[in-house]
């Protein structure tokens, strides 16, 4: 039986290139003062031998892990995973890996365990997506001593915080309905402990007041399509509103299904606006008018802020990222 060949190591590369292993290490770490011809020989040897540097060895040599921590919640929402993907791409482009922890429970013990796990891995910095106040409370009490960025609508992280401008998004949705001629506009919000939901409710109320319209008591939802369908069937049996602004697309999807089950057409009976612009929203029946946050830009800016801190710089001043409005077939003028 033929023995398996051992992995190529740094000394093999040095021998093939005719240099010392210290020189190979300097090339791998992109250090200056190496002749171009020498660097080229080392790179050719690396490619021809298929050498892959050991992250563990590099971490020991440089005292840097090359790893960024990422904490979010396992809530099934669309925005955090989309933001995470953008962070991972930006991190990879900058030479970093991302280690992820999804919290099942939002409490102090879970946050402490997550931070301990990431610190044991030697993460150099952290991005925390904190949609609930409890997450920020737990994180602040942990006194994390490395560079970090929080994604939170409350802006509690100060210069370390960034978010989608929830107020601007909700205002665009509400004004769109008002400009179509709607005066009786209902809002279906998310759970009250979610910062994004709070910001959207406040903005909807503000725009309604500014237009001289009454803002009825918002309905408190749970983000799920099931809830949207149940409340949609109730609303369909009434004749109180002509439009509804829903705080996420999943509940809006359920709402459309609830109306359909009661024989109510959208937008003839009720105009509907969602929030998030999930990939399926343009395939709803009818296609959903919805607020479109730029989660990719959010992820890139998170990483830019973190990289600035890792270079020893203060993060540049940032502002909430305004979303746009994708107007589709679920909105129209109010019924007579």
Residue 68 has pLDDT above 70, yes or no: yes
Q: Which residue has tokens 């001629």? A: 181
pLDDT tens for 98-150 read: 999 988 888 888 899 999 999 888 899 999 998 888 888 888 888 788 999 99
Q: Which residue has tokens 């920020």? A: 136
Residue 5 has pLDDT above 90, yes or no: no
Please give the structure tokens belonging to residue 257: 């299904």
Domains of the chain: 10-62 (1.10.260.40), 67-164+295-321 (3.40.50.2300), 166-293 (3.40.50.2300)
Output the pTM of the full model.
0.80
Q: How far is CA 240 from CA 66, 134, 178, in A?
A: 57, 36, 16
Bridge partners (DSSP) listed for residue 54:
none
Please give the structure tokens belonging to residue 105: 């429970």
Band of the pLDDT at 2, cuts 50, 70, 90? very low
Band of the pLDDT at 57, cuts 50, 70, 90? low
């Amino acid at each position: 039986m033929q023995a398996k060949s051992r992995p190529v190591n740094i000394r093999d590369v040095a021998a093939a290139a005719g240099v010392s292993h210290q020189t190979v290490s300097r090339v791998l770490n992109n250090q200056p003062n190496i002749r171009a011809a020498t660097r080229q020989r080392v790179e050719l040897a690396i490619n021809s031998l298929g050498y892959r540097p050991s992250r563990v060895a590099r971490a020991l040599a440089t005292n840097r892990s090359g790893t960024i921590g990422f904490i979010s919640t396992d809530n099934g929402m669309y925005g955090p995973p989309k933001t995470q993907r953008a962070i991972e791409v930006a991190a990879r482009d900058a030479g970093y890996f991302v280690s992820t922890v999804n919290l099942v429970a939002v409490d102090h013990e879970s946050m402490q365990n997550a931070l301990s796990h990431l610190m044991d891995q030697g993460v150099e910095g952290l991005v925390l997506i904190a949609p609930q106040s409890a997450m920020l409370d737990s994180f602040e009490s942990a006194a994390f001593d490395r560079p970090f960025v929080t994604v939170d609508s409350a802006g509690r992280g100060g210069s370390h915080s960034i978010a989608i401008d929830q107020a601007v998004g909700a205002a665009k949705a509400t004004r769109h309905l008002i400009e179509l001629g709607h005066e009786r506009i209902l809002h279906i919000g998310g759970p009250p402990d979610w910062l994004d939901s709070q910001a959207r409710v406040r903005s909807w109320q503000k725009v309604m007041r500014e237009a001289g319209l009454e803002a009825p008591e918002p309905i408190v939802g749970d983000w799920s399509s099931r809830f949207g369908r149940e409340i949609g069937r109730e609303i369909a049996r009434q004749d109180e509103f002509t439009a509804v602004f829903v705080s996420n697309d999943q509940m809006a999807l359920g709402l459309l299904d609830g109306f359909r089950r009661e024989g109510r057409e959208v937008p003839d009976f009720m105009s509907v606006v969602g929030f998030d612009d999930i990939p399926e929203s343009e395939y709803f029946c009818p296609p959903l008018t919805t607020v479109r946050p730029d989660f990719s830009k959010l992820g890139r800016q998170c990483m830019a802020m973190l990289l600035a801190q890792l270079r020893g710089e203060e993060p540049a001043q940032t502002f909430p990222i305004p979303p746009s409005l994708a107007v589709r077939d679920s909105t129209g003028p109010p019924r007579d």
